[in-house]
Structure 1
Amino acid sequence: MKIDLIIADDHPLLLKGLRDFLEENNFNIIAQANNGRSALELIEKHKPSIAILDLEMPEMTGLEVAAECKLRKIQSKIILLTLHKEIYIYQQAKTLNISGYLLKDFAIEELINCINKINKGEDYFSGKLFPEERNQLDSKMNEKLTPSEVKILKLIADGLSSKEIANKLFIAERTVDKHRSNIIYKLNLDKKHNSLLIWAQNNKGIIF
């Protein structure tokens, strides 16, 4: 069964190239738009499986479209195509439940895999994003933190309290607090209140 897509980009040649590429790979393009507002209207009308949006478009950005879809409880998955590598944009994408985030420079080589993973219910964030930061952090965390500590660190980054983490993982709250202390020690963080939360949220874009 073909996957229904809506695509949006304000550059006509890029939009045509994207459409041709996707149709050649047996995807069904049910509509296309050249600005964010039109894209939102088409997504709301057609409820596609996936919408592939340029980050920077007239009238509404890809992020603004995603935010509005979330507000309206539209279930279509969203992939953002962008030239930006800034962590804060990536973090915004994560908070808006965007399913895919690809750099335009590498979009063609990653897009099919991205769509297929998202269609299976997974997320896909390009490995080309912040490779050095990811490698350094992955190395640091893998060397020092246990899998349980990494899991708790991710929940801390999401803003969960020790009690909420304990409930989610079905463990005692004091066990979570012990993990917190171990993580702070292993990452050599300040022992001040909220130092771990601040560190986790500042690095949220590259620990997920």
Structure 2
Amino acid sequence: MSDRYPIPSCFHRVEDSIKKSRFITSMDHAPDLDSAREFVARIKEEFPDATHNCWAYAAGPPGDTAKVGLSDDGEPGGTAGKPMLNMLLHGGVGEIAVVVTRYYGGTKLGTGGLVRAYSGMVKLGLESLPVKEMVETIMLDVTMPYPAITLFKRLLPEFEAEVREESFSDVAGFTLELPAEHLAEFDERVTELTDGQAILCKK
């Protein structure tokens, strides 16, 4: 599984009318189960008079089913939450929660129509969703002799590493944040650069 994947960059909403029923799709970033549940609660609070507030979330990398949830919120079983979740899991975006709000317009859609409507509303939202890249990072403590500092600092941009803390005693110490995928090669290059005198410790 890649350490990088798209996630929602901000709250996003789309709306459509299907056979006189008003459908509102609300989406947001959900990096964990708590934030996903809080988002669902917030949207339900925003639309307390809606006929249904159906929801689904996948609070992990794209396609990961370890942290998922769904609800039909009164629609016939399997016609809303499940098709919404299926659309999220195949949508290529991770850490996402969605609520599809429905105001019933008087025309029944039938079970097939409901499945199409709810999955279609999630698809509609995903098509215009602003995303950014999620990069899994790690914190790393590095100590080294003073003569190596200049070359070491020149190396950092190549590995997208950022200095979070510095300390200077008998040796130079740095706390870095860098993408997890770069760790092995970074370790190798720093060791080579300092003739094995640098010490790297993952925090």
TM > 0.5 fold call = no
Question: Larger relative contact order (C-alpha < 8 A, sep ≥ 6)?
Answer: 2
Higher strand share: 2
Structure having the larger proportion of residues in helix: 1
Q: TM-score, normalised by structure 2?
A: 0.24
| Higher Cα Rg, which structure | 2
